[in-house]
Amino acid sequence: MARFTLPRDLYHGKGSLEELKNLNGKKAIIVVGGGSMRRFGFLDRAVNYLKEAGMEVALFENVEPDPSVETVMKGAEKMREFEPDWIISMGGGSPIDAAKAMWAFYEYPDTTFEDLITPFSFPTLRTKARFCAIPSTSGTATEVTAFSVITDYAKGIKYPLADFNITPDVAIVDPDLAETMPQKLTAHTGMDAMTHAIEAYVSTLHCDYTDPLALHAIKMIHQDLKASFDGDMEARDRMHNAQCLAGMAFSNALLGIVHSMAHKTGAAYSGGHIVHGCANAMYLPKVIKYNSKNDEAAARYAQIASFIGLKGSSNEELTDALIAELKSMNASLEIPSCIKDYEGGIIDEKEFMDKLPEVAKLAISDACTGSNPRIPTPEEMEQLLKACFYDEEIDF
Ligand code: FE
C-alpha cells in the first residue's frame, strides 16, 4: 500500500493570489520572511484580500533564512494568543517551512520538537486551523509537500520534518511573486527543483503517480531554467509550475542522498552555510554516478536522459550524458562545481576533513537516505563527500 497526498486546492497562474478573497474563516495569521513580500506589495495585497474575505488578520514577520527552533516556538506562541483558523504562509521556503512547524505547536502546545523529528509521527492537525502556502521562489515546492526543514543552531543540524499532516490545504502558485527573485536565488532554487525531480524519479518509492510529474518537471526545468536565470519572465513563470510539479513528485516518492548530504553539510561549518539549492546542484552529478552502479537506477537515469533528448547507446552512456548536461547547466548558472570553490572558498578544508566522519554518519542517518537506490557505507559516504569537496571523479 502506498499513499499519494497533495493539497486539496491549487490555484495557479498570474494574479491567483487574489483567491485569498475566497477563503472561508474568521481569523488569519500571515507568516512571512525578511521583508521582500512587504517591499513588493504582496503582503499588503494579501492582507486586503483576507479582509475582503471578512477575516481579522495578524502578521508574523521576519522569519529568518533556515528558520530556527526558537522562531518556530515564537510563532506558535503568537498563534496561541491570536487563535487563527487560517495560517497563510507566504515567501520562500523558509517562512512556509517555519509556519508548518508553528502549526503543529499551535495545535499541540505540549508536543516537543523531539516528538516531531520521527518521520510520519505528527499528531492529527486541522483541529484549530487550515493552512495556505504561497511560494515566492521556484524551488522548494513546500507549498505542496509534506516536509519542513528546521535548523537547530545549538546542535548545528538541519531537521527535515516529514508528515502528510503538514501538506498544505491550499497552495497558491502565482508566478508574479517569483518574478521578484534575484538571479542567484533563481539559479539555486531552480537546481533544487531539478534535484527534487531527479531524486524522486530514481527513488525506491517512485510509482506510476509520481513518475509523470517528475519527468515533466525535469523536461520543463531543463528547457526553462537558464532563460529564467537570464531574465526571461515567461520562462520564470513556467519554472514556478515546474518546481511545483517536482514537489508533487518528491512529496510522495521522497528523495535521496543528494538531499541527505545537503541537509547535513548545510549548517556544519564555521565559514558559513552552504545554501541548500547550491549544495544539491554541486552534489547531484556525483551522486548520479555513484547511484548508477545500481542497474535499476542506471536504467532510470537513462530514461531521463532520453526524455530530454540526450544521446547515448547504453544506460551508461546516457547516464554520463545526463551528468555532463547537469554540469553544463551548473556552469551556465554560475554554480561552482565543488565545495572548495563555494563562495570563494569559505568552507575551510581542514575543518571539512576533520568533520568528515561525523558529517558522513549524519548524512547516512538522514531521513532522505532510506529511499535512495543505493545505500552507502560510512566509507562510501565519506568518499562521496570528499569528491564533492575536491570535484573528484566517482568510480566506486
Ligand atoms: Fe530541496
Say if residues 79 and 102 touch (Cβ distance below 8 Å): yes
DSSP string, 62-88: -PPSS-BHHHHHHHHHHHHHH--SEEE
* Rounded distance from Cα 48 to ligand 1 centre (Å): 32
Q: How many domains does the chain have?
A: 2
Q: Residue for cell digits 547507446?
A: 313
Give the pTM.
Answer: 0.96
* Rounded distance from Cα 259 to ligand 1 centre (Å): 6
Q: Which of 178, 208, 232 is the last residue of a domain?
A: 178
Report the 10 Å Cβ neighbour count for 112: 9
Q: Are residues 65 and 144 in the same domain?
A: yes
To the nearest 10 degrees (0 to 180), the angle between helices 276-291 and 378-390 is 120
To the nearest 10 degrees (0 to 180), the angle between helices 315-332 and 276-291 is 160
Profile the chain (396 residues) by mean pLDDT over runs of 10 residues. 97 98 98 95 98 98 94 98 98 96 96 86 95 97 95 80 96 97 97 98 98 98 98 98 98 97 93 95 98 98 98 98 98 98 98 98 94 98 98 95
Q: Which of 114, 144, 178 is the last residue of a domain?
A: 178
Q: Are residues 174 and 211 in the same domain?
A: no
Q: How many helices (H) and strands (E) does the chain have?
A: 15, 8
Q: Are residues 126 and 199 in the same domain?
A: no
Q: Which of 160, 178, 196 is the last residue of a domain?
A: 178
* Rounded distance from Cα 25 to ligand 1 centre (Å): 32
* Rounded distance from Cα 110 to ligand 1 centre (Å): 29
pLDDT value at residue 267: 85
First-to-last alpha carbon distance for the chain, in angstroms, is: 34
| Residue 395 domain-assigned (yes or no) | no
CATH number at residue 112: 3.40.50.1970
Say if residues 353 and 233 touch (Cβ distance below 8 Å): no
In sequence order, which residues have a C-beta less than 8 Å from that of residue 97 and are 6 or more positions away?
A: 67, 140, 142, 147, 148, 149, 150
| Residue 358 domain-assigned (yes or no) | yes
* Rounded distance from Cα 196 to ligand 1 centre (Å): 6
Say if residues 160 and 367 touch (Cβ distance below 8 Å): yes
Say if residues 285 and 293 touch (Cβ distance below 8 Å): no
Q: Are residues 253 and 153 in the same domain?
A: no
* Rounded distance from Cα 105 to ligand 1 centre (Å): 24
* Rounded distance from Cα 258 to ligand 1 centre (Å): 9
Q: Are residues 117 and 252 in the same domain?
A: no
Cα separation of 196 and 167, whole Å?
16
CATH number at residue 321: 1.20.1090.10
Report the 10 Å Cβ neighbour count for 348: 13
What residues sit around ligand 1, an ion, with C-beta below 5 angstroms? Answer: 192
pLDDT value at residue 63: 97
* Rounded distance from Cα 277 to ligand 1 centre (Å): 6
Tell which residue, 231, 249, 268, 248, has the closest CA to residue 156.
Answer: 268
Q: Are residues 169 and 188 in the same domain?
A: no
Q: Are residues 294 and 168 in the same domain?
A: no
**Rounded to 5°, angle at Cα 338 from 335 and 341:** 75
* Rounded distance from Cα 191 to ligand 1 centre (Å): 9
Cα separation of 131 and 129, whole Å?
7
In sequence order, which residues have a C-beta less than 8 Å from that of residue 353 and are 6 or more positions away?
A: none
Give the three cell numbers for residue 134: 504561497
* Rounded distance from Cα 317 to ligand 1 centre (Å): 27
Say if residues 228 and 235 touch (Cβ distance below 8 Å): yes
Q: Are residues 61 and 149 in the same domain?
A: yes
R_g of the chain, CA atoms, integer Å: 20
| Residue 261 domain-assigned (yes or no) | yes
Q: How far is CA 61 from CA 25, 73, 86, 179, 360, in A?
A: 21, 14, 16, 21, 35
| Residue 191 domain-assigned (yes or no) | yes
* Rounded distance from Cα 244 to ligand 1 centre (Å): 12
Q: Are residues 194 and 220 in the same domain?
A: yes
| Residue 26 domain-assigned (yes or no) | yes
Domain that holds residue 324: 183-390
* Rounded distance from Cα 254 to ligand 1 centre (Å): 11
* Rounded distance from Cα 374 to ligand 1 centre (Å): 19
Q: Are residues 223 and 312 in the same domain?
A: yes
Give the three cell numbers for residue 72: 518556530
| Residue 344 domain-assigned (yes or no) | yes
| Residue 3 domain-assigned (yes or no) | no
Q: Are residues 298 and 169 in the same domain?
A: no
Strands 147-152 and 130-135: what pairing? Answer: unpaired
Q: Which helix (H) or strand (E) holds 15?
A: none
pLDDT value at residue 66: 87
Q: Are residues 263 and 348 in the same domain?
A: yes
Say if residues 195 and 285 touch (Cβ distance below 8 Å): no
In sequence order, which residues have a C-beta less than 8 Å from that of residue 155 and are 6 or more positions away?
A: none
| Residue 82 domain-assigned (yes or no) | yes
